[in-house]
Amino acid sequence: MLIVCVSASNIKHAGENSTSVKTCKLIKEMVKRKIVNSVEVEIIPLVNYELRPCIGCGRCFNQDICIHDDDFNQIYSILTQSDALFIVSAHYAPIPSKLSILLEKVEQLAFLKRFNNENYRSPLFRKPVGIVGHGGGDEKIIKYYKGPVLDSIWNALSYPVEMNIVGVSNEESNGVIFPVKNVKKLKRSIFPIQEYDWEDIERRLNPLVRNVLEKIIKE
């Protein structure tokens, strides 16, 4: 069983301390605790890939790859081989640019085939996916991330890709968002220092991880 967690962060200087990467690592630990044997969890940090925007050339229709983007092809191959996905995205404008490129190309590969053959189904069809959003907002602010982050990703993975987007409740039907605990400003840095309550984040993620794993087991 292969589960993939995509870290959408573009922040290169953060490295392994990126909130998105750390969240993927937490999800990996949670999955390993819930399914002890026969599960591999692969983390894909998009920051390590140089994705190129889709130019609408249509060459992917016959080749099922992007002839202009080997990094995308590498990621897409892993995604199609997986049994389930998690996507962790910060709130940018509205989502990180590399995630936008990835989703755009996944959708384009499915759209062209589906437009010309309504019976076509993407290799990602009905694969369970859990979406996780975060940003610099506290508990009062994070509700405003639902539209730009969760709904944007949900939209890209719906028709014609038609992944099985897993929710937690009626209020969290498209995924989970977690808040920042505290934001600090350092004199020698232009960047904010964000602190998180990782025990609280695990509590919020637990039902999403559980629901995604249940989808795999049932299928």
Q: Which CATH number fits domain 2-218: 1.10.10.60, 3.40.50.150, 3.40.50.360, 1.10.8.10?
A: 3.40.50.360
Spatial separation of the C-alpha atoms in residues 68 and 51, rounded to whole Å: 9
pLDDT at residue 37 in the model: 75
Q: In terms of Cα–Cα distance, which of 211, 212, 119 is closest to 160?
A: 119
What does R_g of the chain's alpha carbons equal in angstroms?
Answer: 17
Determine the pLDDT at residue 219. 60
Instruction: Return the beta strands (E) in the chain as ranges.
Output: 2-7, 40-45, 84-90, 128-134, 164-166, 176-178, 182-185, 192-195
Q: What is the pLDDT along the chain (219 residues), one digit of tens a residue?
A: 999 999 999 888 777 789 999 999 999 999 999 886 788 999 999 999 999 999 999 999 999 999 999 999 999 999 999 999 999 999 988 999 999 999 999 999 999 999 999 999 999 999 999 999 998 888 888 888 899 999 999 999 999 999 999 999 988 899 999 999 998 888 888 888 889 999 999 999 999 999 999 999 866
Domain ranges of the chain: 2-218
Residues 36 and 54: their CA atoms lie apart, in Å, by 39
